[in-house]
Every structure is written in structure tokens, then in C-alpha cells.
């Protein structure tokens, strides 16, 4: 639980468990996740990316419109609805280092989650924030951004990750 897991680690393909309520252990885990995410550096992290099969996501990015830093944790996040309008954006993943691909996803989502104070939050998000949340919530059900690609492109990326990991001896 101290470091990132990389593809093809099987934990990345497992479904995460819902948490009963947000307590000290969950907050401590979210803090640890944020530390790992910032150090990596990344903009989002799901608990299974560090080997913990719990529905916890942490995000941290700078909103390009407002220039404000956005940092928060989501416990048991669920996407309630998606916009019909989709947008193509480049995505990468801390579990697939140095690999990027254009992925089409809904532009706007409505998300529901428990916050750090165990309060149920529902909100509509768009842009980069919607992109990050869709990506991280996918992780909680064992789905990776490369799953949206053709099998040929996906296999090429996975081979590149394996080669990268051998080079840096991080298996």
C-alpha cells in the first residue's frame, strides 16, 4: 500500500468494495493516496492503484477556467448520469506510465459520493474534472482507459508499459 501498482497487476482489474462510512482509517488512506498521487505526479488516484480494494478516489488539479486548485476525496463515488455530448481528450494513467491516448467520454456527468465528513454529495461536473472522475471511477470497477481502445492499440500500450517497467526494474 505504499506504492503504485502497474499494469498487468491483477488488482487493477478487480472491483473495489463499498465502504460503510468514512472514518479515521478511510481518511488516513485518502491522505496516503494524495501523497502518492502528488509525488507521482498525477491528478487523480483510485485506491486499487495502490492495492487497496476500497471505493476511494482522490483528485487534485488546477481548474483552467478559474485557476483555482481543486482537491477532494470521494468515497463510494457513482456516476448518476452522463451527457449525450461527448468530448475527445488525451488521457494517461499512473498505472500505465508514460502512455497516452485520445479517449472519448461524456462531457458532463452527475456524480454522487460521500465526502470526508460522511455527507452525501451530488453534483454536476464538466471539463477536466468530469474526465478525471470518469477515469478514476472506472478504476473502481477494474476498468482502465486503454479498455476504450482497439485491442491492437491496447496491446501495444501494455507492451510498452512492460518494457518501461523492465527498464526501470519496477515489477
Residues 6+ apart with CB under 8 A from 28: none
* Phi, psi angles (nearest 5°) of residue 101: -155, 150
Among the listed residues 26, 91, 129, 136, the single catalytic one is 136
Q: Cα–Cα distances in Å, from 5 out to 41, 106, 117?
A: 14, 27, 28
DSSP of 99-122: EEEEEEEESEEEEEEE-TTS-EEE
Which among 18, 16, 21, 2 has a CA at the least distance from the CA of 116?
Answer: 21
Helix (H, G, I), strand (E, B) or coil at 144: coil
**Helix extents (H) in 58-150:** 127-140
Active site residue 136: yes
Active site (catalytic) residues: 136
Amino acid at each position: 500500500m505504499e506504492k503504485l501498482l502497474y499494469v498487468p497487476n491483477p488488482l487493477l482489474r478487480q472491483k473495489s468494495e463499498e465502504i460503510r462510512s468514512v472514518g479515521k482509517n478511510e481518511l488516513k488512506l485518502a491522505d496516503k493516496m494524495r501523497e502518492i498521487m502528488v509525488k507521482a505526479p498525477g491528478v487523480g488516484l483510485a485506491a486499487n492503484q495502490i492495492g487497496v480494494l476500497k471505493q476511494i478516489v482522490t483528485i487534485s488539479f488546477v481548474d483552467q477556467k478559474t485557476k483555482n486548485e481543486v482537491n477532494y476525496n470521494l468515497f463510494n463515488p457513482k456516476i448518476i448520469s452522463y451527457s449525450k455530448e461527448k468530448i475527445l481528450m488525451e488521457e494517461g494513467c499512473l498505472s500505465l506510465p508514460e502512455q497516452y491516448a485520445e479517449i472519448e467520454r461524456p462531457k458532463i456527468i452527475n456524480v454522487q459520493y460521500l465526502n470526508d465528513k460522511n455527507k452525501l454529495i451530488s453534483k454536476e461536473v464538466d471539463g477536466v474534472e468530469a474526465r478525471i472522475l470518469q477515469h478514476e471511477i472506472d478504476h473502481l470497477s477494474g476498468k482502465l482507459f486503454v479498455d476504450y481502445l482497439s485491442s491492437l492499440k491496447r496491446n501495444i500500450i501494455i507492451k510498452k508499459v512492460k518494457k518501461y517497467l523492465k527498464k526501470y526494474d519496477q515489477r
